[in-house]
Amino acid sequence: MPATILIVEDEPAIAELVSLHCRHAGYTVKVAHAVLDARDVVDETLPDLVVLDWMLPGQSGLVLARQWRSASRTKELPIIMLTARGDEVDRVAGLDAGADDYIAKPFSPREVCARVRMVLRRIARSAPLSNNPSVFTMNESHGIITFYGERLSLTRYEFLLLKTLLNEPLRIFPRQLLMDLIWTDAMD
Ligand code: CA
pLDDT digits (tens, 9 = 90+) for 93-112: 767 777 888 888 888 888 89
Q: Which residues surround ligand 1, an ion (CB under 5 A)?
A: 10, 53, 55
Predicted pLDDT at 7: 97
Cα 79–chain centre separation: 9
Average pLDDT over residues 90-95: 70
28 or 124, greater pLDDT? 28
Residue 9 Cα to ligand 1 middle (Å): 6
**Residues 3-61: tens digit of each pLDDT:** 999 999 999 999 999 999 999 999 999 999 999 999 999 999 999 999 999 889 888 89
Nearest to 42 by CA among 1, 10, 71: 71
Residue 84 Cα to ligand 1 middle (Å): 8
Which residues neighbour 89 within 8 Å (Cβ) at sequence distance 6 or greater? none
Q: Look at residue 123 and give its three-state secondary structure.
A: helix
Residue 138 Cα to ligand 1 middle (Å): 45
Residue 28 Cα to ligand 1 middle (Å): 22
Torsion of CA 77, 83, 88, 89, to 10 degrees: -70
Confidence tier at 127 by pLDDT (50, 70, 90): low
Whether 145 contacts 159, CB under 8 Å = yes
**Residues 169-183: tens digit of each pLDDT:** 778 888 888 888 888
Confidence tier at 186 by pLDDT (50, 70, 90): confident
DSSP 8-state assignment for residue 79: E
Torsion of CA 162, 120, 36, 96, to 10 degrees: 100
pTM of the model: 0.65
Residue 66 Cα to ligand 1 middle (Å): 17
DSSP one-letter string for 139-185:
ETTTTEEEETTEE----HHHHHHHHHHHHSTTPPPPHHHHHHHHHHH
Rounded-to-integer distance, Cα 37 and Cα 31, Å? 9
